[in-house]
Structure 1
Amino acid sequence: MRIYLPSTLPALATVLSDGEVRGDPITAFAVTPELTESTPGDSEELEYEALYAAADASLRLLAADPEAPRRRVVLAADIPDKLIGPAPDATHPAEVTLTGTVPLKRVASAHVDDEDAADDIARSAAEPDVGHEDEHELMWYATQELKYLVE
């Protein structure tokens, strides 16, 4: 299953250094039955909704880390279904919980705000529960490009 992991640039640097995403538990977002029931649209629209739910969670991570560059980061990864479970206190119908770690080799891509979005993202991070910054699309990065984001 494709999942979307909220992150920040400093957390991405840690993932690249460690070779995996760690957490206990790891919160992610995916096209769940709950999302499918609550959100009209085709599979592509549902994936987009899950991606931007993770981007909203990235805003909350940015709010908790005032030193992090003001750019949302979402890692897309493909994980076996057996490692994914419901989130006990889900705030979004796409929210799931993962057991274990997510090896870097499972990460398919990253979606990151352009540097030009930093001021708008900073304002959004000041009120992270309001929702994602709709004026800015996340940019797609291949896994081999990720090291350049954190240099």
Structure 2
Amino acid sequence: MRVYVPLTLPGLARLHRAGRTDPPPLTAYAVTPALREWYLEGNEEELEYAALSRAAQASLRLLAADPDAARRRVVLAAEVPDRTAVADPDRALEPEALGEVRLTEPVPLAKAAAVHVDGVEAEADVAAAAAVVEAADKGDDDARFTVDGAADHELLWYGVQEIPDLL
């Protein structure tokens, strides 16, 4: 199963040094049955993009918790065994939990397919979004508008071999 793990640049550096993600439990995003049901008309590529986008928004929450991290969203795309990515059936249909899975094992760097990272030009919008993401989660329309401004920036694709250059 392809999963999208939200990170920050310091988190990516830890993953690169350790050769694996932090220990579980770890939140990631994937094309789950609930996500498929929500995006009924989406093809596989659109569903993968939706899961990636959910992970990018979760990266904002990580940035909000780490004021010293560079204001760039980071998402690791990796292949994991299906059994290690578990959706919470009680939350599966909640809009804020669509595509969310809990990883029960660390993700080895060797299983990474790519890294998606904001470009430098997104930093101001990402910083503004990270500052208000909690308010957006609670329904503040102005904060939601700011978070959507960060989402307007497409994440750039990097091969795993390019991680040292990103760091």
TM-score tier by shorter-chain length is over 0.9
Of the three residues 98, 103, 122, the one matched with 1:98 is 103
TM-score, normalised to structure 2's length?
0.85
Residue 124 of structure 2: aligned partner: 119
Residue 48 of structure 1: aligned partner: 49
Q: Describe how 1:128-147 pairs up with structure 2 within 5 A.
A: 128=133, 129=137, 130=144, 131-132=147-148, 133-147=150-164
CA–CA separation in structure 2 for the residues paired with 1:27 and 1:82: 14
Residue 67 of structure 1: aligned partner: 68
Query: Aligned pair 1:57/2:74, yes or no?
Result: no
Between Structure 1 and Structure 2, which shows a larger proportion of strand residues? 1
Q: Describe how 1:20-39 pairs up with structure 2 within 5 A.
A: 20-39=20-39
CA–CA separation in structure 1 for the residues paired with 2:48 and 2:91: 21
- Is the contact made by 2:91 and 2:97 (CA closer than 8 Å) also made in structure 1? no
Between Structure 1 and Structure 2, which shows a larger proportion of helix residues? 2
SS of match in other structure, 2:97: coil
CA–CA separation in structure 1 for the residues paired with 2:4 and 2:105: 16
TM-score, normalised to structure 1's length?
0.94
Q: Computing the radius of gyration over CA atoms, which structure comes out larger, 1 or 2?
A: 2
For residues 79-126 of structure 1, the C-alpha deviation after alignment (integer angstroms, 9 at most, x for no partner) is 010111113656321000111111000111000000111001000101
Higher relative contact order (CA 8 A, sep 6+): 1
Unaligned runs of 5+ in 1: none
Unaligned runs of 5+ in 2: 138-143
Please report the RMSD computed on the Cα atoms of aligned residues, expressed in angstroms.
Answer: 1.4
For residues 112-151 of structure 1, the C-alpha deviation after alignment (integer angstroms, 9 at most, x for no partner) is 000111001000101123345232000000000011111x
The alpha carbon displacement at 1:23 in A equals 3.0
Q: Share of identical aligned residues, percent? A: 51
Residue 140 of structure 2: aligned partner: none
Q: Give aligned pairs, total.
A: 150
